[in-house]
Amino acid sequence: MSVLPRTHVRVTCQVILVVLATGLSACSSFNQGTRGLADALTLYKPEVVQGNFVSSEQVQALRPGMTRLQVRDILGTPLVASLFHTDRWDYVFTMKRQGVEPQRYRLSVFFEGDTLARFEGDEMPSESEFVQRISRERKIKVPVLEATPEQLAKFPSGGGEANAADAAPAAASEPTPRPAGSYPPLEPAR
């Protein structure tokens, strides 16, 4: 077994130290330009969506004096309803997507008894703004949902003798639908 001379060991250690130092200095120079390349080579990261999204339209519908049931109908079930703070509901929504800044929104609703007293929190985006914020590649344009008077004239308005006469021939040709609460039997008759 041959023994390496001390100079070889010393040179090898110096080379290893230089390589480590170069590698560590490269980590600190990892800027946004090289971050894009690293993101392109990174494996897929799934979306993480937690909580209830509350839009600005929903917040605008809240009025002091509403009951808890009315607030729940507008905002949905709260994410946090504490036993120790029964007069407070918290709605929190977070979303993390690859390539998009993390988004976090919070809304707290306060009650006095069973009625809404006040609400506070972040400024919520509208539904169309939120869709545009989470969209990576293309901006989504939400169409305006308005009908012109010409388009509305094509449909019966539900009241008036002329509309009832127009609807009579159509009703005669179609079978009568079942009432909404009527279901077929679950088991065959014996």
Indicate yes or no: pTM above 0.75: no
Amino acid 119: pLDDT: 93
Query: What pLDDT, on a 0 to 100 scale, did the predictor assign at position 163?
Result: 47
* Nearest Cα residue to 120 out of 105, 108, 110, 112: 108
Task: Measure CA 118 to chain center.
Answer: 24
Query: Domains of the chain: which residue ranges?
Result: 9-41, 48-134
Per-block mean pLDDT, blocks of 10 residues, the chain (190 long): 70 82 62 59 71 88 92 88 84 80 88 92 85 64 80 73 49 59 71
* Placement of tokens 């918290």 in the chain: 90
CA distances from 167 to 41, 79, 154, 176 (A): 62, 48, 12, 14
pLDDT at 70 (0 to 100): 93
Q: What's the pLDDT at 62?
A: 92
- CATH second-level architecture of 48-134? 2-Layer Sandwich (3.30)
